[in-house]
Amino acid sequence: MARGDDRRDRGDRGERGDGELVDKLVSINRVAKVVKGGRRFGFAALVVVGDQKGRVGYGSGKAREVPEAIRKATEYAKRHLVRIPLREGRTIHHDATAKFGAGHVVIRSAAAGTGIIAGGPMRAVFETLGIQDVVAKSIGSANPHNMVKATFAALQRVSSPRSVAARRGLKVSDILSRRRDQSEGEE
Protein backbone atom coordinates (compact mmCIF):
# COMPACT_ATOMS: atom_id res chain seq x y z
CA MET A 1 0.00 0.00 0.00
CA ALA A 2 1.45 3.37 -1.02
CA ARG A 3 1.74 6.18 1.51
CA GLY A 4 -0.94 8.24 -0.23
CA ASP A 5 -3.43 5.34 0.10
CA ASP A 6 -3.02 4.88 3.86
CA ARG A 7 -3.25 8.67 4.36
CA ARG A 8 -6.73 8.55 2.82
CA ASP A 9 -7.81 5.89 5.37
CA ARG A 10 -7.05 8.22 8.29
CA GLY A 11 -9.52 10.91 7.30
CA ASP A 12 -10.03 13.60 4.75
CA ARG A 13 -7.60 16.08 6.36
CA GLY A 14 -4.59 13.77 6.65
CA GLU A 15 -4.60 13.56 10.44
CA ARG A 16 -1.78 11.49 11.91
CA GLY A 17 -0.68 10.80 15.46
CA ASP A 18 3.08 10.91 16.01
CA GLY A 19 3.70 10.05 19.66
CA GLU A 20 1.84 12.86 21.36
CA LEU A 21 1.88 15.21 18.34
CA VAL A 22 -0.93 15.36 15.79
CA ASP A 23 -0.37 16.75 12.32
CA LYS A 24 -2.92 17.95 9.81
CA LEU A 25 -2.32 18.53 6.15
CA VAL A 26 -3.84 21.93 5.33
CA SER A 27 -3.06 22.19 1.63
CA ILE A 28 -1.01 20.78 -1.22
CA ASN A 29 -0.24 22.94 -4.22
CA ARG A 30 1.09 21.58 -7.51
CA VAL A 31 3.43 23.96 -9.28
CA ALA A 32 4.92 23.66 -12.77
CA LYS A 33 8.24 24.89 -14.07
CA VAL A 34 8.36 25.17 -17.85
CA VAL A 35 11.66 23.92 -19.29
CA LYS A 36 12.87 23.13 -22.78
CA GLY A 37 11.55 19.55 -22.68
CA GLY A 38 8.12 20.43 -21.23
CA ARG A 39 6.90 20.99 -17.70
CA ARG A 40 8.54 19.87 -14.47
CA PHE A 41 6.03 19.44 -11.66
CA GLY A 42 6.72 20.07 -8.00
CA PHE A 43 4.58 20.13 -4.87
CA ALA A 44 4.28 22.53 -1.95
CA ALA A 45 2.65 21.31 1.27
CA LEU A 46 1.34 23.25 4.29
CA VAL A 47 1.09 21.27 7.55
CA VAL A 48 -0.04 22.19 11.07
CA VAL A 49 1.33 20.18 14.03
CA GLY A 50 0.18 20.31 17.66
CA ASP A 51 -0.07 18.32 20.89
CA GLN A 52 -3.75 19.27 21.52
CA LYS A 53 -2.67 20.70 24.91
CA GLY A 54 -1.65 24.23 23.95
CA ARG A 55 1.38 23.76 21.68
CA VAL A 56 1.11 24.24 17.91
CA GLY A 57 3.30 24.99 14.91
CA TYR A 58 3.06 25.20 11.14
CA GLY A 59 5.46 24.48 8.32
CA SER A 60 5.64 24.44 4.56
CA GLY A 61 7.76 22.15 2.45
CA LYS A 62 8.51 21.87 -1.24
CA ALA A 63 9.66 18.83 -3.19
CA ARG A 64 9.18 16.91 -6.44
CA GLU A 65 7.06 14.27 -4.68
CA VAL A 66 4.06 14.82 -2.38
CA PRO A 67 5.26 12.61 0.55
CA GLU A 68 8.64 14.34 0.62
CA ALA A 69 7.02 17.81 0.67
CA ILE A 70 4.73 16.71 3.55
CA ARG A 71 7.69 15.26 5.48
CA LYS A 72 9.68 18.50 5.13
CA ALA A 73 6.71 20.62 6.21
CA THR A 74 6.02 18.37 9.22
CA GLU A 75 9.64 18.46 10.39
CA TYR A 76 9.73 22.26 10.16
CA ALA A 77 6.45 22.55 12.08
CA LYS A 78 7.71 20.25 14.86
CA ARG A 79 10.86 22.37 15.27
CA HIS A 80 8.85 25.62 15.51
CA LEU A 81 6.12 24.85 18.06
CA VAL A 82 4.73 27.75 20.10
CA ARG A 83 2.79 27.62 23.36
CA ILE A 84 -0.61 29.31 23.47
CA PRO A 85 -2.31 29.85 26.88
CA LEU A 86 -5.75 28.23 27.03
CA ARG A 87 -8.59 28.99 29.46
CA GLU A 88 -9.81 25.82 31.17
CA GLY A 89 -7.96 23.88 28.46
CA ARG A 90 -10.79 24.44 25.97
CA THR A 91 -10.81 28.06 24.67
CA ILE A 92 -8.72 31.25 24.49
CA HIS A 93 -8.66 33.84 27.28
CA HIS A 94 -9.91 36.79 25.22
CA ASP A 95 -10.80 37.86 21.69
CA ALA A 96 -8.01 38.57 19.21
CA THR A 97 -7.58 39.83 15.68
CA ALA A 98 -4.61 39.77 13.33
CA LYS A 99 -3.67 40.31 9.73
CA PHE A 100 -1.09 38.70 7.49
CA GLY A 101 -0.91 39.84 3.89
CA ALA A 102 -4.49 40.17 2.68
CA GLY A 103 -5.74 37.59 5.23
CA HIS A 104 -7.49 39.05 8.26
CA VAL A 105 -8.82 36.84 11.08
CA VAL A 106 -11.03 37.50 14.10
CA ILE A 107 -10.97 34.93 16.93
CA ARG A 108 -13.44 35.00 19.81
CA SER A 109 -13.58 32.86 22.94
CA ALA A 110 -16.80 30.87 23.31
CA ALA A 111 -18.90 29.21 25.99
CA ALA A 112 -18.50 25.52 26.75
CA GLY A 113 -20.25 23.30 24.21
CA THR A 114 -20.01 25.79 21.35
CA GLY A 115 -17.47 23.76 19.39
CA ILE A 116 -15.06 25.01 16.75
CA ILE A 117 -16.88 27.42 14.47
CA ALA A 118 -14.17 28.17 11.92
CA GLY A 119 -13.41 27.26 8.37
CA GLY A 120 -10.65 25.44 6.55
CA PRO A 121 -7.10 26.24 7.64
CA MET A 122 -8.17 27.94 10.89
CA ARG A 123 -10.07 24.81 11.95
CA ALA A 124 -6.94 22.69 11.46
CA VAL A 125 -4.94 25.07 13.70
CA PHE A 126 -7.58 25.01 16.46
CA GLU A 127 -7.97 21.21 16.36
CA THR A 128 -4.23 20.55 16.64
CA LEU A 129 -3.92 23.23 19.35
CA GLY A 130 -6.59 21.54 21.47
CA ILE A 131 -9.17 24.33 21.47
CA GLN A 132 -12.71 22.93 21.71
CA ASP A 133 -14.80 26.13 21.89
CA VAL A 134 -14.01 29.06 19.62
CA VAL A 135 -15.71 31.26 17.04
CA ALA A 136 -13.49 32.52 14.23
CA LYS A 137 -14.01 34.49 11.05
CA SER A 138 -11.65 35.05 8.15
CA ILE A 139 -11.99 38.26 6.20
CA GLY A 140 -10.21 38.94 2.94
CA SER A 141 -7.84 36.44 1.40
CA ALA A 142 -8.72 32.74 1.42
CA ASN A 143 -5.07 31.83 0.75
CA PRO A 144 -4.31 28.98 3.22
CA HIS A 145 -0.77 30.23 3.95
CA ASN A 146 -1.98 33.75 4.83
CA MET A 147 -4.91 32.39 6.89
CA VAL A 148 -2.65 30.09 8.94
CA LYS A 149 -0.08 32.84 9.52
CA ALA A 150 -2.76 35.36 10.49
CA THR A 151 -4.31 32.79 12.87
CA PHE A 152 -0.92 32.22 14.51
CA ALA A 153 -0.40 35.99 14.82
CA ALA A 154 -3.79 36.33 16.54
CA LEU A 155 -3.13 33.38 18.87
CA GLN A 156 0.25 34.80 19.89
CA ARG A 157 -1.48 38.02 20.96
CA VAL A 158 -3.57 36.07 23.48
CA SER A 159 -2.18 36.37 27.00
CA SER A 160 -3.23 34.62 30.18
CA PRO A 161 -4.29 36.51 33.33
CA ARG A 162 -1.14 35.17 35.01
CA SER A 163 1.17 36.77 32.42
CA VAL A 164 -0.79 40.06 32.52
CA ALA A 165 -0.53 40.09 36.33
CA ALA A 166 3.20 39.45 36.16
CA ARG A 167 3.68 42.32 33.67
CA ARG A 168 1.67 44.74 35.82
CA GLY A 169 3.12 43.60 39.14
CA LEU A 170 -0.31 42.56 40.48
CA LYS A 171 -1.94 39.37 41.68
CA VAL A 172 -4.11 37.29 39.34
CA SER A 173 -7.09 37.78 41.69
CA ASP A 174 -6.77 41.59 41.32
CA ILE A 175 -7.06 41.37 37.54
CA LEU A 176 -9.95 38.91 37.60
CA SER A 177 -11.84 40.93 40.21
CA ARG A 178 -11.47 44.06 38.04
CA ARG A 179 -12.99 42.19 35.11
CA ARG A 180 -15.95 41.13 37.27
CA ASP A 181 -16.43 44.68 38.58
CA GLN A 182 -16.47 46.09 35.05
CA SER A 183 -19.01 43.52 33.82
CA GLU A 184 -21.31 44.24 36.79
CA GLY A 185 -21.08 47.99 36.13
CA GLU A 186 -22.28 47.49 32.53
CA GLU A 187 -25.51 45.76 33.59
Domain ranges within the chain, ordered by starting residue: 3-82, 86-186
- Integer angstrom CA distances of residue 45 from 6, 10, 31, 66, 144: 18, 18, 11, 8, 11
* 86-186 shares the fold of 3-82: no
Q: Confirm if 93 and 164 have CB atoms less than 8 A apart.
A: no
CATH of 3-82, one of 3.10.20.30, 3.40.50.300, 3.90.1150.10, 3.30.160.20: 3.30.160.20
Residue 11, pLDDT score: 38
Question: How much is the mean pLDDT over the chain?
Answer: 84
In the structure, what pLDDT confidence band is assigned to residue 6 with cuts at 50, 70 and 90? very low
For the beta sheet containing 134-140, the strands, ordered from the edge strand earlier in sequence to the opposite edge, are 96-100, 103-109, 134-140, 116-117
Q: Which of 98, 142, 151 is nearest to 124 (CA)?
A: 151
- pLDDT tens sequence across 22-36: 999 999 999 999 999
Instruction: Classify domain 86-186 at the CATH class level.
Output: alpha beta
- pLDDT tens sequence across 88-97: 888 898 899 9
Q: Which of 155, 154, 152, 110 is nearest to 133 (CA)?
A: 110
- pLDDT tens sequence across 56-114: 999 999 999 999 999 999 999 999 999 998 888 888 988 999 999 998 999 999 888 88
